[in-house]
Amino acid sequence: METLILHPKNEVQLTALKAIAKALEISFEITKNPYNPEFVNKIKLSKQEIVDGKVTRVEKEDLQALLGL
């Protein structure tokens, strides 16, 4: 049997999907994103900064000096 993963965009869609599954006697489970939303937003911001070119590049030869080694 296949597993279907749905991603409702709001509470109304989630409620409707739950009702349909219950009416059809389809078992389902609800899981939350295991990551802290604040952390996820930081990662998304970092990815966008890379796309926008807002990065600092360090040459391999300069790493030790940068790290104070």
Span 40-67, pLDDT tens digits: 999 999 999 999 999 988 898 899 888 9
pLDDT of residue 50: 95
| The pTM of the whole model exceeds 0.75 | no
Which SS3 state, helix, strand or coil, does residue 21 take? helix
Question: Tell me: the pLDDT tens digits for 5-36?
Answer: 898 999 999 999 999 999 999 999 888 878 88
Q: How far is CA 3 from CA 6, 7, 68, in A?
A: 10, 13, 51
